[in-house]
Structure 1
Amino acid sequence: MEKSRVLLFYIYSVLKQYSDETHPLNSTQILRHLEMQYQIQINRGTLYHHIQALQDYGIDIKNAKCINDGKYLVDRQLEKSEVFLLINAIHSAHFIPASQSKQLIEKLMETQSIYFQKEYRYLQVIHNRKKSPNKAFFLNIEVILDAIDKKCAVTFYYMHYTVDKKMKCEDQKLHIVYPIHIVTENGNTYLIGSHKRHKDSIIHYRVDKITRIQLLEHDVDTTIKRDFDPYTYTSTKPFMFGGAAQRVILRCHLSILDDVIDLFGNEIMIIPYRNQPYFDVSVSASRQGIIYFALQYLKYCELLEPTDIREEIKEILASNMKKYQVS
């Protein structure tokens, strides 16, 4: 019985690795792979019996339409399109170090046939110059998830880039934080939590900039709020600038409507202008985040309220005009 179970696994493994809709395997080819890879010799009757057992179990193995006696595995953990999307996402995610990106892509490749792997192997050799140098990224994730589960604090140091293009924690400040969530926003992965000294305020840190993280299992706090929506929090932090959120009103050109909705979400209040290419929008955002947004989209956006932020933007513009004046 045990040998039969092992044989089922080997047959499934051969079909998974060497077959797909355009590359079915006939019985002779399957038997050859079993002998070459696993040193197993069986007859065709035993092979058909075990393939039927796999199908009875729910594994989707189909006969080829045009090739006699050809079979291929349809049922996979992930579809080709899903694997391709995930591989590209991992490769482009600069917060995942290059070596760990390669390992993740290898694991995803193994869910598909060798023909898919050959076709998209190039994605493993393209160099992404934006990749983070912090090889502790996944360790950070594991420790943070452990802390969330145990409702305890973590300690870590926080790094920034220096002019020599290396990440260092120059101030050597020890951060003590109660993790609440991990989210991906603005092209980065963030730890969202509360500071030990200010438990009522929510803060965030880029996970790829965290170093020397440690779990404080003795420092447990069950009063930390863990039922808030982290994506509501991030929607009020354009470009992930910190600070308290406040209500602001913007007048924007229709050409940036997509950008506004992408950044602030589709629950914002939009007031269009009849026969005019403009709209007003009311959003909740941090002060520095909305100033950054208004300056970035200066040609297509005007901040109407509140007055104090509007005045600050005017001062920024006036003081920086000197940089572009012809001498």
Structure 2
Amino acid sequence: MPKGSNQKFKLYRLAQIMQEQTDDEHYITMPEIMDGLAKYDVTADRKSVYNDLRDLSVLGIDVEGEPVGNRYHYHVVNRAFELPELKLLVDAIQSSKFITEKKSNALIKKLETLVSKYDAQKLQRQVFVSGRIKTMNESIYYTVDAIHKAISENKKIKFQYYQWNVKKEMELRHNGAWYHISPWGLSWDDENYYLVGYDSDAEQIKHYRVDKMLHIKLSNESRDGKEHFKKLDMADYAKKSFGMFGGKEQTVKLLVKNSLAGVIIDRFGKNVMLIPTDDEHFTVNVDVHVSRQFLGWVFSLGEDIKIVGPDEVVDEMKKEINRIINQYKYDS
């Protein structure tokens, strides 16, 4: 029997049809497969299509056929991603402030191609991106890629850094001066993406919001600060920093009501020791970078938590409380 037309596209189109039109709940028959190929101007005899369905496994596409009545129904099994996994990725993309709305929708659209058109509709119903607070820096993908490249090549990076002014305009910080930083890692904290790097001039570790970095480029200079990061656990470092704000690292003793045990574990992990003091309270020692953001976190939990040591941190909290009181005093 002579070969059909457009044979060089047959396997590709067959894979496309099977992946788009079938899943664990949706099947396709051989006549429907033949009709699908015909829509792409691909003709073939049934025997060759049977062989091609088996050959798809070489491409990582497993197809099963099940007898239903006097016909076989075919569908793709064992996809690279299960639907619940893709929904999880969609939710992560949606909730990421550092990914723009445009990029979020583009990424989700690409994820939809990994499932059938039926499951793609289920992913679409998960999408509620419009109206969310998102970064407006479209270059963030390329910024992150440049940071990873600099880390792998052991190079410093140069970039400009901006902030928003009261006119809602992007305003370069330090009059547009270039920051020259040794990148050592990226951290996702409080819905934002941060570069963690070493500032050689200040001789200290600093953090920078990735979505506020502009015109990034690699330097010819090798990175500094290796001794500071050699023993640094990035996850542990992020846990100690509230909102990625720096501060003196100290062990702080907290007196906490039992009802907040979950809050403490969620923030500092299950390895912290909760030491009972009475039937209603426990103490816990936590390593943190003491900053106004940390004090604000303690303050937000109200009367159920109290800093009890060291004295200098207790004094810092008292000063912060007095500052707030003075800020909200009524004029006499």
Please give the TM-score of this superposition, normalised by the length of structure 1.
0.89
* 1:31 maps to 2:34: yes
Distance 1:220 1:91, change over 3 A: same
Q: How far 1:5 sits from its partner (Å)?
A: 7.4
Consecutive unaligned residues in structure 1, runs of 5 or more: none
Q: How far 1:305 sits from its partner (Å)?
A: 0.7
What residue number does 2:236 align with?
232
Once the two structures are superposed, what CA deviation does each residue of 1:251-303 show, in whole Å capped at 9, x if it has no partner?
A: 12233322222222222222134522x22111111110431221222332101
Consecutive unaligned residues in structure 2, runs of 5 or more: 1-5
Stretch deviating more after TM superposition (287-296 or 51-60): 51-60
Once the two structures are superposed, what CA deviation does each residue of 1:119-174 show, in whole Å capped at 9, x if it has no partner?
A: 33244564133010111111110110110011111111222233334443243232
Could you tell me how far apart the structure 2 residues matched to 1:223 and 1:319 are? 36
Would you say the 8 A contact 2:198–2:225 is kept in 1? no
Matches within 5 A, 1:213-252: 213-216=216-219, 218-221=220-223, 224-225=226-227, 227=230, 228-252=232-256
Would you say the 8 A contact 2:95–2:191 is kept in 1? no
User: SS of the counterpart of 1:182?
Assistant: strand
Q: How far 1:49 sits from its partner (Å)?
A: 1.0
Once the two structures are superposed, what CA deviation does each residue of 1:24-81 show, in whole Å capped at 9, x if it has no partner?
A: 1111111222221x32111211111111223477633223576741111112221101
What residue number does 2:3 align with?
none
What residue number does 2:79 align with?
76
Stretch deviating more after TM superposition (142-151 or 315-324): 315-324
Matches within 5 A, 1:1-327: 6-36=9-39, 38-55=40-57, 59-64=61-66, 68-124=71-127, 126-171=129-174, 172-198=176-202, 201-216=204-219, 218-221=220-223, 224-225=226-227, 227=230, 228-276=232-280, 278-288=281-291, 289-321=293-325, 323=328
Stretch deviating more after TM superposition (156-165 or 59-68): 59-68
Would you say the 8 A contact 1:249–1:305 is kept in 2? yes
Q: How far 1:324 sits from its partner (Å)?
A: 6.6
Would you say the 8 A contact 1:21–1:74 is kept in 2? yes
Could you tell me how far apart the structure 2 residues matched to 1:219 and 1:183 are? 23
RMSD of aligned Cα (Å): 2.5
Would you say the 8 A contact 2:101–2:129 is kept in 1? no
| Code of the aligned partner of 2:322 | A
Distance 1:272 1:42, change over 3 A: farther
